[in-house]
Amino acid sequence: MDNFLISPKEVKEQLNSTANGYLLVDIREKNEYSDWNIKGSLNVPVNDLISSGDFASIKKHLERLPKDRMIVTICARGINSQVAASILREMGYNSVSLDKGMKGWNENFDIYRLHFDDFDVVQFVRIGKGCLSYLVIDKSTDQAALFEPAIFIGEYEDYQRANGIHIKYIIDTHAHADHFSGGMELARKLNLDYCISEIEVDKVFSFKSLKAADEIAFGKTRIHLISTPGHTDGSISFLINNKALLCGDLLLLESPGRPDLARTKEETTKGAGILFDTLKNLLPGLSDDTMIFPSHFTNTDIRPVVMSLKDLKANSEPLNITDKREFINYITSNIPVTPPNYETIKKFNKAGVIIPLDYAEDLEIGPNRCAARN
């Protein structure tokens, strides 16, 4: 803790500990808070009052807070929350501000390692952003394939170093719209190819195009590539030793991925139809024990974020719709509003442009909205 700032990592660790004595106070306005917040935080909306300098009203709102807890104030980018923390200290509270606010909260990862016969899957859960990335590690060689890397590439480098593994492949299932890919930057750093379907990107930078029905093999691990269009035209899923499916945005635990991004209304309807065909072709060929690893999550509390196909079928309404027209209607009738920066982020990812971390974090602010329904 420095200058009355607390790092996102320290807050995460404190929340996960049994001795948690922190009270998280989110000062953003009600609508912003209800759209996206840290679980367990309390909303005391004084952000606008701080901007207008109405300090008497601010104190009235804050004086209801308990005095026996460390108050961590939160706003979108960690500016006004510093003012709130300062006012609280003046009022006799112990208070610090979450460094970089919700933007900083997006930097946090929880890591889970799941064991299969010949390989392990390491799931990196970006808890604020709802993004998932993966290392698939072959046990016989300690070689690994990295899927869906976020821009915080140090997370994967640290894991590689600490666990004595060697990343050999860097892969995106498709060009994402909700977050910046760290794939290009990490591939350059490790002198590897950045792999993605050529349908997904502008051919203006160096990448290796993945093709459906290809196989990636290392040690005793065989990764079968399956074309799974719908969310995007060039989406690819990866079936590992017939036991685990990394499916990108095809199947999130909440719902299939939205088919409308960067598409017109007609294209969206067509995309939903393609999604139906993809699922109809794919699912009967998979064992019910196949573990489904999505690339995002919205509301689910399941950790790690994974489900067997059997459980997913039992829990997912759209997977049980057999009529194509009904499925299209289900998928397209309640798609969430597209967050403002999705178009920009996708353009950068398609062009393979590496942008400064701080700018990327700024554009990524907000909840995950990749599911067709929340």
- Residue 312: count other Cβ atoms within 10 Å of its Cβ: 20
Name which of 31 and 264 has its Cβ closer to Fe ion: 264
CB of 178 to Fe ion, least distance (A): 6
The SS3 assignment for 309 reads helix
Interface stretch with Fe ion, choices 145-153, 164-172, 186-194, 241-249 (CB under 5 A): 241-249
Which residues make beta-bridge pairs with 140? none
Interface stretch with Fe ion, choices 90-98, 136-144, 249-257, 361-369 (CB under 5 A): 249-257
Q: Which residue is nearest to Fe ion (CB)?
A: 249
Kindly state the DSSP code that residue 339 receives in the 8-state scheme: P
β-pair type (236-240, 221-227) = antiparallel
Residue 169, both tokens:
């492949």
CB of 177 to Fe ion, least distance (A): 6
Does position 249 bind Fe ion by CB under 5 A? yes
Which amino acid is located at 294 in the chain? Answer: P
Residue 113's φ and ψ, nearest 5 degrees, are: -115, 120
Please report, as residue ranges, which positions from 289 to 328 form the binding site for Fe ion (by CB under 5 A).
none
Matching residue, tokens 């005391």 = 44
Interface stretch with Fe ion, choices 32-40, 98-106, 169-177, 263-271 (CB under 5 A): 169-177
CB of 235 to Fe ion, least distance (A): 8
C-alpha to C-alpha distance for 77 and 100, rounded to whole angstroms: 5
Name which of 165 and 177 has its Cβ closer to Fe ion: 177
Residue 233's φ and ψ, nearest 5 degrees, are: -70, -35
Does position 148 bind Fe ion by CB under 5 A? no
Q: How many residues bind Fe ion (CB under 5 A)?
A: 2
Name which of 61 and 263 has its Cβ closer to Fe ion: 263
Interface stretch with Fe ion, choices 11-19, 168-176, 266-274, 357-365 (CB under 5 A): 168-176
Name which of 85 and 175 has its Cβ closer to Fe ion: 175
The SS3 assignment for 77 reads coil
Catalytic residue at 370?
no
CB of 179 to Fe ion, least distance (A): 9
CB 346, CB 175: distance < 8 Å: yes
Three-class SS string for 35-61?
Answer: HCCCCCCEECCCHHHHHHCCHHHHHHH
Please report, as residue ranges, which positions from 33 to 62 form the binding site for Fe ion (by CB under 5 A).
none
Closest to 88 in 3D by CA, of 105, 101, 103, 71: 71
Name which of 119 and 207 has its Cβ closer to Fe ion: 207
CB of 230 to Fe ion, least distance (A): 11
Does position 200 bind Fe ion by CB under 5 A? no
Active-site residues, by number, are 75
Residues that bind Fe ion (CB under 5 A): 176, 249
